[in-house]
Amino acid sequence: MHTSKNIDMTKGPIMKLVILFALPICIGNVLQQLYNTVDTLVIGNFCSSLSLAAVGTSTQPVEIFLCIFLGIGTGVSILVSQATGKGDADRVKKIVATATSFLYLSAVPLTVLGLFLGPFILKFMQVPEDAWDLSVAYLRIIFLGTLGNMGYNMNAGVLRGVGDSRSSLFFLLISCIVNIVLDIFFVAVLGLDVPGAALATILAQYCSWLFSILYLKKHYPELEYTALPRIIDKNALSSIIRVGLPLGLNNSFYSIGHVLQQSLINLQGSDYIAACAVASKITGIANVAIGSFSSAATTFSGQNLGAQNYVRLRKGGTTIPFWSGFITMTFGMIITIFCRPILMLFTKDSAVLDLAVLYTHVVLPSTWTYAVFNCIIAFINGMGIVKYPTVINMLMLWAVRIPSAWLINRYIDGKYVMACFPISFTFGMCCMLAFFLTKRWKAVKQKALEQERTLL
């Protein structure tokens, strides 16, 4: 299963392999941020602040419907990496075939549900009346891209599972170029406003999915990949659901919490919504290392667990989160210092700009704690341990972030509601560091010690 493009995480210098694996994903995350940022840039310069608010408040309903499947996609990546570590090519083929069939069984009903239920979620979120029509239009068009979005993420997960993190970068590059060209054409030239930006997004997603299909069929013939549903292996499906469903439910509950949180933001008015939408773009740029190191951590732990290499597993569990946090902190501080001139690229509205600067100053310096938290979660998910991080995620959101946001809005000042992020990030990091004191990790350390003695 290993080719020249695949990275075998079971041997060699840990951080060198992690960086080689993470770098293409990191560049891909930059492209993904650029992909999203172009929407905001074009809308911010050719449309009104209401259009910015509409795009900023319409992402949460999409997350609610897609996050369960995206969690299952992560489960597929974990299972593929474990089977790759064991050298079980037949199991990899069954997992991939089953995942492809499951994609279609999920995407069509999710699209229908999103089209009909999305506006009700926007109503619950208390979207301002002046941004309502644009928000609904954006939401409904985005849901038409569900299959392309889910299909690309599934295929990217399969590639990461076999150790290939570079190929998805090519797909994202294509998607990014298509999105930029269509954004400018639909919004700046044709004047289609928010619907034009949404249409550009879904067409770009379908392009990236199509190219990922062609790539898998050409470069990984041993997977026997088919673009259309073929078979569902009961054992593979059971494993996918067992590992992926808790991750998906965790994401779903998290997204519901985001809806409640967004409703508190929406209470502050359209300028505040637009400011948060703009600020989130540059915080996303600062945090590009988080997703890439987390993906590397999942593949690393999955492959080494499959290979029963507990010495490397023990070492990687602390080394990878440390570097993820350090790099995120460095980027975060640099962008915080220069945030105003960067934010001015997105909006010239002084009220929106001042609020966006405030958001950045409050949130960005602390996101290194989220980097550590998320990397540890990804690492232990790769080991097939999903209950512990699910519980911590729920506590971080429902017991800390949402209550603190409500208290800040109720008793301090609503414009500081974003302070709930650093509070919850710090709590989550401390809880995930506590995992290294649990029996599960002590068992890994014990097996690593036994392996070291055997080698001596």
Secondary structure letter of residue 438 according to DSSP: S
Q: How far is CA 157 from CA 145, 168, 171, in A?
A: 18, 9, 13
| 8, 2 Cβ separation under 8 angstroms | yes
Q: How far is CA 435 from CA 304, 324, 391, in A?
A: 19, 18, 12
* pLDDT at residue 449 in the model: 92
* pLDDT at residue 229 in the model: 77
Distance CA 288, CA 252 (A): 22
Distance CA 287, CA 328 (A): 6
Name the maximum alpha-carbon separation found in the chain.
71
Distance CA 262, CA 255 (A): 10
Closest CA to 135 of 218, 204, 51: 51
256-260, Cβ contacts within 8 angstroms, sequence gap of 24 or more: 256/64, 257/397, 257/398, 257/401, 257/402, 258/60, 258/63, 259/60, 259/61, 259/64, 259/121, 259/124, 259/125, 260/402
* pLDDT at residue 430 in the model: 96
pLDDT tens for 120-177 read 878 877 777 777 888 888 888 988 988 988 888 888 888 888 878 777 778 878 888 8
| 228, 209 Cβ separation under 8 angstroms | no
Tell me which residue has tokens 């301090």.
412
Tell me which residue has tokens 């995930």.
432
| 98, 134 Cβ separation under 8 angstroms | no
Report residues of the chain scoring pLDDT below 70. Answer: 1-6, 32-37, 56-57, 60, 253-255, 258-259, 456
Report phi then psi at 307, rounded to 5.
Answer: -85, 0
* pLDDT at residue 330 in the model: 92
CA angle 299, 374, 288 (to 5 degrees): 85
Where helices occur in 287-346 by DSSP H, the ranges are 288-306, 310-337, 339-343
Distance CA 426, CA 400 (A): 10
> What are the respective helix, strand and coil percentages of the chain, to the nearest 5?
85, 0, 15
Q: What pTM, to 2 d.p., does this model score?
A: 0.69
* pLDDT at residue 35 in the model: 64
| 8, 302 Cβ separation under 8 angstroms | no
Tell me which residue has tokens 């993820």.
324
Distance CA 53, CA 276 (A): 9
